[in-house]
Amino acid sequence: MTRAFSSRRLQRWLVGASAVILTFLLAPAGVARAAGGGDIPVPPETLSDKGAGPVTAADTDFVIRVRLAGLWELPASNMAMQKSDNPRIVAIGKSIAAQHVILDQLTRDAAKKLNIQLPNQPNSDQQYWLSEMKNANSTTFDQIFVDRLRAAHGKIFPAIATIRASTRNDTVRKLAQEANQFVMTHISLLESSGLVDYGALPTAPAPTVTGQGPVPVDGQMLAAASSSTGGGIPGVNTTVVLLVLAAALVAGVITTMRIFRSR
């Protein structure tokens, strides 16, 4: 009786210890899965706008470029409403014009807060594009309007991303966040016309070193990556290693219990 009682106690102890060890082994894997498969982060709806932080030359250039965009895209969109015979182009022009009124006010407010001098006239290239549209008839206007605005938005889009990611000034950061939403909307509107010639758009520059990301990886980062993927063994994942160890532990417990039962 005493021997049977001791055997049952030992079996219970082995099962309990196995559960604790399994929980410990599998906990990191569960966290990794949750981190990798959780909800997608949502950008903040509001950002601080106190003018805090240094303003670089790139920041100033960005604010001026947003202002210049409005100085020619607003009259171009007004022309679209007046000259086009295509209801879709008229609707696109109306939307872009209304949105540029809002964006221009946001830009002027930011410039005032940061003491940045803004231009009041489009630059020479923009004036030329406006003259093209002014001289175009209703047959040729639509294509010129879509081509010029889509190309311009494609150029400022990466500039917005660069400033949004790098600026130290909270007002510039907020303006970049807002401008990004406008530009994305305008690109989508222009492409909805069905007139965008994607083959004529400029291609992205080729990477200087194929297969490498934008962030350099040093020896320490490589070592950390190696240790997190199975101790440097190619193709071995940490989760797989933990599961194998857990299976081995369970098998050992079962074998031990069978031995004691036979005795």
Q: Domain segments of the chain: what residues?
A: 1-34+239-263, 57-194
Fold classified for 57-194: Ferritin (1.20.1260)
pLDDT of residue 232: 46
In the Cβ-directed half-sphere of 87, how many Cα atoms lie within 13 Å? 0
To which residue do tokens 């407010």 refer? 109
pLDDT of residue 46: 73
> Which regions of the chain are under pLDDT 70?
1-45, 209-263
pLDDT of residue 204: 80
Question: Is the pTM higher than 0.75?
Answer: no
pLDDT of residue 49: 79
Classified as helix, coil or strand, 144 is helix
Q: What is the DSSP secondary structure assignment for residue 200, as one 8-state letter? A: G
The dihedral sign for the CA sequence 161, 151, 84, 68: positive
